[in-house]
């Protein structure tokens, strides 16, 4: 009986530890640029400044994000942001 109790406690502790570790591993920062569909001119300038500070690798991720966004939510603003990101990529290479 004691052996069964010990085995169940060890199993519960192991499962709790595994769950806590799995939750901690996936806590990586997520960069979101441009939260809404329409940005004010001030917010748009802030977005352009944030884009200017990105590395080439991050620019490519933002480019893919805006390509998808242009497919799902086409707007002139999203097209302009995509063009700006593509120009920054060309300038960085």
> What does the pLDDT profile of the chain (93 residues) look like in tens digits?
666 655 667 676 766 665 555 555 555 555 555 545 577 888 889 999 999 999 999 999 999 999 999 999 889 999 999 999 999 998 877
Alpha carbons 82 and 21: distance in angstroms, whole number: 38
* DSSP letter (8 states) at residue 26: T
Whether pTM > 0.85 for this model: the answer is no
Half-sphere exposure of 54 toward its Cβ, with a 13 Å CA cutoff? 24
Contacts by 19-28 with C-beta closer than 8 Å and gap 24+? none
- C-alpha torsion sign, points 41, 85, 34, 51: negative
Alpha carbons 72 and 75: distance in angstroms, whole number: 10
């Amino acid at each position: 009986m004691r052996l069964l109790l010990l085995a169940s406690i060890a199993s519960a502790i192991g499962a709790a530890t595994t769950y806590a570790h799995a939750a901690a591993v996936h806590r990586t920062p997520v960069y979101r640029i441009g939260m809404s569909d329409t940005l004010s001119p001030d917010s748009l300038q802030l977005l352009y400044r944030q884009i200017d500070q990105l590395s080439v690798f991050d620019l490519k991720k933002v480019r893919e994000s805006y390509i998808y966004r242009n497919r799902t939510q086409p707007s002139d603003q999203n097209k302009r942001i995509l063009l700006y990101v593509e120009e920054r990529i060309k300038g960085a290479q």
